[in-house]
């Protein structure tokens, strides 16, 4: 089954990986930072080697975001995210794993889940069936 793991963060700047710039991460001891960074690297290796990781991407700075809505056949464009939004979509992983429990396990091991949020979204094919 395929799941989209959406990583949300409230970054001080928009360099990736986002968790490395999070104030809570920066306040950790060097050994805690090293351990969390190794956890991230180990997770990436694990899901790459198992074939579960299909795609991973970091998104560009939200100031470059455009939202398009068409109302009454008129396109409306909004630049960037709303100012009051603290957590913004920072990146994603597309995984193909055995079940939702495995997707949850992977999501909980992404360091950004500790400082922001990781949303798990099942993927459906064009017929509406979960993949």
Tell the residue number behind the tokens 């190794």, with chain if given.
Answer: 38
Residue 127 covered by a domain: no
| Residue 131: inside a domain | no
Q: Domain range for residue 116?
A: 2-122
Residues of the chain with pLDDT under 70: 11-13, 81-85, 128-131
Instruction: Report yes or no on 129 lying in a domain.
Output: no
Burial class (CB in 10 A: 0-12, 13-18, 19+), 36: middle
pLDDT value of residue 40: 95
Count how many domains the chain has.
1
CATH label of the domain that carries residue 32 = 3.30.70.1060
Asked, for residue 101, whether it belongs to a domain, the answer is yes
pTM: 0.85
As given in the structure block, the two tokens for residue 101 are: 């429990």
The predicted-structure confidence for 31-46, as pLDDT tens digits, reads as follows 999 999 999 999 999 9
Residues ≥6 apart with Cβ < 8 Å to 47: 53, 93, 95, 106
Contact by Cβ (8 Å): 90, 45 = no
Contact 38, 51 (CB under 8 A): no
């Amino acid at each position: 089954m395929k799941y989209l793991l959406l990583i949300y963060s409230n970054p001080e700047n928009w360099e990736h990986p986002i968790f490395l710039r999070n104030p809570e991460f920066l306040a950790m001891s060097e050994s805690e930072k090293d351990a969390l960074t190794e956890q991230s690297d180990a997770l990436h290796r694990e899901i790459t080697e198992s074939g579960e990781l299909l795609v991973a991407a970091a998104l560009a700075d939200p100031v470059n975001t455009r939202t398009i809505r068409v109302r009454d056949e008129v396109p409306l464009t909004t630049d960037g995210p709303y100012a009051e939004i603290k957590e913004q979509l920072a990146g994603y992983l597309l995984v193909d794993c055995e079940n939702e429990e495995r997707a949850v396990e992977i999501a909980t091991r992404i360091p950004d889940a500790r400082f922001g949020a990781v949303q798990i979204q099942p993927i459906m094919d064009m017929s509406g069936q979960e993949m």
